[in-house]
Amino acid sequence: MKKLLFVVAIGMATGCADSGGCPENMIECAGVCADLGSDTGNCGGCGIACEPGQTCNVGVCETSCLEGYTDCSGTCRDLQSDDYNCGMCDLVCAAGHLCSEGSCVVECPDGYTACSGVCKNLGNDPSNCGECAAACDPGWVCMTGECAFTCPDPYTDCSGSCADLGIDHMNCGACGTECGEGRRCEAGSCVNSCLAGLTMCSGACFDLTRDSENCGACASRCGAGEVCSGGTCVLGCTEGFTDCSGTCRDLQTDRMNCGACDTECLDGWVCNAGVCELMCPAPLTDCGGFCANTTMDPENCGACGIDLTTGCEANLMRDISNCGTCGTVCATDEVCYLGTCAVLTCFVAEDFEAGSWPVSPWVVQASGGTVETTAAHDGTYGLVNPGWHYRTDYSITDGMAYTAWIHTNTATGGRFYFGFDATSSGCKSFVIAPNTTDIMFMTNSSWGYTNHAVVAQSFVADHWYFIEVIVTGTTATGNLYDSDGATLLNTTSYTYGSMGTGGFAMRGFSDIGVDTIEYCP
């Protein structure tokens, strides 16, 4: 009833007629009965129309994105293919890369194919002739994708490759002259090249759909008070948006322009009503501007500000000597599971000690992965860079724990997807992401990527981490532990719409290693 009275008050304040002969909860607007709480043509008041692509929600116009698109600061983006919002809002792919399936990958010029992350010309590369890793015999060259003995005119033999020096990206004008990222070979010279959606203007790349200095065409500058929208100069921004250097921004929600243009919120903070606020994921609590785990933090033990000199230094969820509360010791045949002493049996689902990959019962959804000794946390072998693989011989159960050891190569490179509820059509996953310095949950329908519950997290190069997924009902909790397997570094949780009984899955790239996957039903 309070919501209804609020909407009616707005309608009356804007000069709308009384309800007249309209049904209850509706107002007469220009002779038509309208529900001011949901009518996009009369949203919150008579004659207040929402912008195209918006819906009216309780008398407020809001962006409504089609399925497969995500609201990024008021604009609907396809996070699977948008070079400026790849996998998550505002994640811009570097020059020479493009967004494919929610990840930034190497963008190869026309005529080239990415082979193990390097652009190769399958038409003339003797090591990759016709397809990746198909090498010609010594002394032979690769010509139009087939191994041959000599190069015909106008091609030149460049160390076994038949290259057209006029257009060859790796042999431009002369053998061995390589055009760098963002450049291409034309008439034997390297020239600048732009990512898809950008246009070269005076040696630099611009988006002509929104650049106020190059709007619709190079050097087409918008006038004073105008912004570039869809390649056309328009007068000012729509209501609720502000012109920030030629781009319309919502200063109430845009974390890169919060409250004012160029006012950026810190990592892990969000913009709420024009103010940067800390968002602490469960089970962490905001204790005066920082996130604290009140079950472990001795300075915030049980609640913010309760500072104890002893106790609470242990991980009460896993420590068998302090299980649930400080000093609670589990029996010799018990473990501390979610803060409760219990007899828990865990199985090693995969230890990679077969020395080869892939192995049964893992099903290959996307090929990739090598077994290496450098990725071994336990035993002799671990796995590096697996493509999507899944198995259904184990099924997730309510209250189950699913764990693994993860090894980083660099502090800011690579990702590992720890999948669960997996079937042939996709999975859900807990993601460890040094490349975007965060952890998160995902929905991987059809092996795509939709992000949930993203939490900022820094990583260390050449370091082991212990990860854990706990499923309770439809809620999944992901924990990231340090190399001792007990020190909790971060956590995030997400409640899915439903939780099935699928199996397990995994994927990794950029030299991320995994070893000793265990299942505790």
Same domain, 427 and 403: yes
Tens-digit pLDDT string for the chain (521 aa): 333 333 333 343 333 445 557 887 788 898 889 888 878 889 989 999 888 777 787 788 877 777 787 877 766 778 888 888 889 988 888 776 778 788 887 777 777 888 877 788 888 888 899 999 998 877 677 878 888 767 777 788 887 777 888 888 788 999 988 876 556 787 888 876 665 677 877 766 777 887 878 899 988 988 877 778 778 888 777 777 787 877 778 888 888 889 998 888 876 677 888 888 776 655 667 766 666 666 656 566 666 666 554 455 566 666 778 787 778 888 887 777 667 787 767 778 999 999 999 999 999 999 999 999 999 999 999 999 999 999 998 888 888 889 999 999 999 999 999 999 999 999 999 999 999 999 999 999 999 999 999 999 999 999 999 999 999 899 999 999 999 888 889 999 999 999 999 999 999 999 999 999 998 87
Same domain, 336 and 422: no
On whether the pTM is more than 0.75, the answer is no
* 397 phi, psi to nearest 5 deg: -135, 160
Residue finishing a domain among 14, 44, 63:
63
Same domain, 489 and 446: yes
* 451 phi, psi to nearest 5 deg: -85, 145
Residue finishing a domain among 271, 306, 340:
340
Same domain, 318 and 418: no
Q: What is the rounded distance in angstroms from the CA atom of residue 491 to the CA atom of residue 439? A: 8
Domain membership of residue 38 as a residue range: 2-63
Total structural domains within the chain: 3
Same domain, 333 and 371: no
Same domain, 476 and 417: yes
In a domain, 10, yes or no: yes
Q: What is the rounded distance in angstroms from the CA atom of residue 172 to the CA atom of residue 167? A: 6
Which long-range contacts link 450-455 to residues 24+ away (Cβ below 8 Å)? Answer: 450/70, 450/79, 451/79, 451/87, 451/88, 452/494, 453/281, 453/492, 453/493, 453/494, 454/88, 454/492, 455/268, 455/281, 455/490, 455/491, 455/492
Would strands 146-148 and 156-158 be described as parallel, antiparallel, or unpaired? unpaired
Joined together, the tokens standing for residue 437 give 């310095």
Residue finishing a domain among 47, 63, 79:
63
Q: What is the rounded distance in angstroms from the CA atom of residue 401 to the CA atom of residue 478? A: 10
Same domain, 472 and 402: yes
CA distances for 340 relative to 38, 78, 469, 482, angstroms? 48, 43, 17, 22
Same domain, 319 and 364: no
Would strands 363-364 and 389-391 be described as parallel, antiparallel, or unpaired? antiparallel
